[in-house]
Structure 1
């Protein structure tokens, strides 16, 4: 590979190596070590886009060049790099597909960022139910029958929003869902930036006819945190509307280092993707095999589902059959210097990426096996996390509830009231309650059970669930 294969990365190196004395922001000017060495180390790689990777007037067209290369790689007509993560990209696409008051069909496994995108855009969601695989207690996707029924019941719907793959690696029958829809299908593929670049992986969403996809370069690809891409086909979506929607929430001071890493990850995928993914898939397959030798552990994999319906690069470990508590295992993993992405009582999700090696994955598996044995107890039945259950009844649209007057009340007194905030176990950030939905005793009990088991409750003003914010009664 040549560095010029990644124009933003080349520009980053030219700036860093060029002896520049900048009189532009950022204020640290890559010289903060003179003020405080510890701070200087933290900002040493930070280079701006404006006045860094390009002139302040963007006369060099470097970002446009990099985005065009990404569009070509993914087979899109339009591409933008986000430094605000897939959160910004999901919110931008929500602003692009409809007008306030329009109906959209949305998988209930959607991330909080999509929900807040609906609030910003004033779109009214009709939730698509997520089926759950009873063997593992994890979501298995949206069925074509559910989508067809929702489209028939809501013929004015403007778009369909899906999350493929799910946080736990499962994939709906995406070609069938897109074939069933006569409106644009938008896919949050944040956890699937590697899809479509190896014959053993599912195709990415644009390859099977989606109108747009959002993907995170910092999740499974080796890019900076907050690096994300929004890619679209302009036969289904208006490019001018896409531009305006993207810029509505885009920072005016984009971090050039994030952009350069996005471009470099794209170049790496284009030049060496199959080779690197071969190694990743081999590492994960070996980890699956080793972990399955531990009595009671369930480790879903691609062979557990129909072809193309599970990400073979995903490692999900179900602990319930061992009796081990995932929160206790996670605590000991952190102490051992092996933190994982997600853990609740029954599930641990380590993220294995292109940057991992045989040694790093062996260290993870050795630690997991040993700690499961240390914490082994009476087996439990496979559980169902509260976020994969049926949604609450909606009494108001999310936007109306978000902007309504609200009050904070003891959680027990919130039962029967209309929720005014997002409440979600995190990870994965899939809401259990969204603004406009009626709080029920069962949902509150489920959230408290997750809290008591050690799961973080996110986005709620009171993460202890002692109080909830509800819409003030008229």
Structure 2
């Protein structure tokens, strides 16, 4: 039978509903079609309880989802919360639809995830790109400076919102409070894709979360750093500058009409755990990660990303000074049963969450140190991911280019043409090339650099990257 090992159900209405369904299962004449029978395709469907006629009645008469979302809003200090079973991808696109209308201009950090860019396509928004500061010692991005956003808003007084991603994929944290002041001084909302920051604000050694720092919207993934099912995310909103009805409409327009109850219940359970035990659990993980950084810092040539502007639970290391190839180090980690979030020639990123233990983090650290001793070679110059150095050249609005007639052209003939597709090294899913942008020699060099570093080039229509789809003049 399903269990509630930490006794969370009394404080988590969706979790309680999921447990009650599993404890006293009905004989349903509703979807899903497996009818809770695990003898047909196996345990892969175990626990798949729908929201409709599962956690709640088909008419949602119990209101458990509304109650769970209200509890999350209170915890994060928001006026409104919506749960997503489509991850931060769905949440970002819903917010893009809500904050402005077709043809409107918005200021957008170039460190955004592809999901937000495609949200701009869906909403018909035109981006004014702002780029992050890049650290010379590591080649990795810091946050977008408030002064950079101030200049963009001064140059584009028609802008309706500011979108940034913070913290970055590698764990660096920007000046969200400064960005909020700048945006609000211009009379527009600040939207923060904080997919990697569901734990922020819940331990004194962690940065505050974006809403605490003045942001108007925070999108975060419950499944990235909290113990929720994959695809679990939240949209958290302060409504002074955001229309709550438009947020609801954006969420509903882009969400599935058959939300997975287990994802919703896990989001609620993760919220209850964070509220009750978060500081204790996060404290242990932070201490263990700090110990890992101390050990890794002693490895000759290895650079460990750290400091007050770095997430204490993101373990990012730069290998250039060791000469080791991160792809080979990753293979050693995989052989030891220790997959990491991201690995290319120069950079490894390991995600630590409150589910990790001192033992698991020590095992990762031991294996990394052993692998680096074996894989060491002459030091290389620090280059850093090329995605953070590309200067985008916007030619037409993203929506226009995305939906126009297009053709594939050989890579060598693509320079000067306008891209009809989004191409992004993945992870982290940050675009090197977006719909509506002119293809430059710098763009192609960045893509080639990523490929040579061992990064998968994702989302291109031609996965070999011999051709790119371009608009037809």
Q: TM-score, normalised by structure 1?
A: 0.96
Query: Superposition pairs for residues 218-297 of structure 1, below 5 Å?
Result: 218-297=223-302
349 and 296 in structure 1: CA distance in 2 versus 1, 3 angstrom threshold: same
Picking from 13, 19, 22, the partner of 1:13 is 19
Which residue in 1 is equivalent to 2:183?
181
Q: Shift of residue 463 of structure 1?
A: 2.2
- 1:451–1:464 contact (8 Å) kept in structure 2: no
Q: Shift of residue 133 of structure 1?
A: 0.8
Distance 1:112 1:412 in 2: 25
Q: Shift of residue 410 of structure 1?
A: 1.1
SS, match of residue 451 in structure 1: helix
Picking from 171, 190, 197, the partner of 2:195 is 190
Query: Superposition pairs for residues 40-189 of structure 1, below 5 Å?
Result: 40-182=42-184, 183-189=188-194
Which residue in 2 is equivalent to 1:392?
392
Which residue in 1 is equivalent to 2:3?
none
CA RMSD after TM alignment: 1.0
- 1:386–1:443 contact (8 Å) kept in structure 2: no
- 1:206–1:212 contact (8 Å) kept in structure 2: yes
Query: Superposition pairs for residues 403-422 of structure 1, below 5 Å?
Result: 403-422=403-422
Which residue in 2 is equivalent to 1:328?
328
Q: Shift of residue 390 of structure 1?
A: 3.2
SS, match of residue 460 in structure 1: coil
SS, match of residue 142 in structure 2: strand
Distance 1:462 1:331 in 2: 27
The worse-fitting range, judged by mean Cα deviation, of 111-120 and 178-187 is 178-187
Distance 2:153 2:424 in 1: 27
User: What count of residue pairs does the alignment treat as equivalent?
Assistant: 464
Which residue in 2 is equivalent to 1:213?
218
Which runs of no fewer than 5 residues in structure 1 stay unpaired? none
Q: Shift of residue 2 of structure 1?
A: 4.1
Distance 1:389 1:158 in 2: 26
SS, match of residue 42 in structure 2: helix
Deviating 4+ runs (over 4 angstroms): none
Distance 1:116 1:2 in 2: 37
Which residue in 1 is equivalent to 2:4?
none
Q: Shift of residue 386 of structure 1?
A: 1.3
- 1:30–1:40 contact (8 Å) kept in structure 2: no
Which runs of no fewer than 5 residues in structure 2 stay unpaired? 1-6
- 2:346–2:453 contact (8 Å) kept in structure 1: no
Q: Deviations over 1:149-192 (max 9, x none)?
A: 11111111100001110011111111111111231000000000
Q: Shift of residue 462 of structure 1?
A: 1.6
Picking from 4, 11, 35, the partner of 2:10 is 4
Q: Deviations over 1:318-353 (max 9, x none)?
A: 101000111111122112211111011100001111
SS, match of residue 181 in structure 1: helix
SS, match of residue 134 in structure 2: strand
SS, match of residue 316 in structure 1: strand
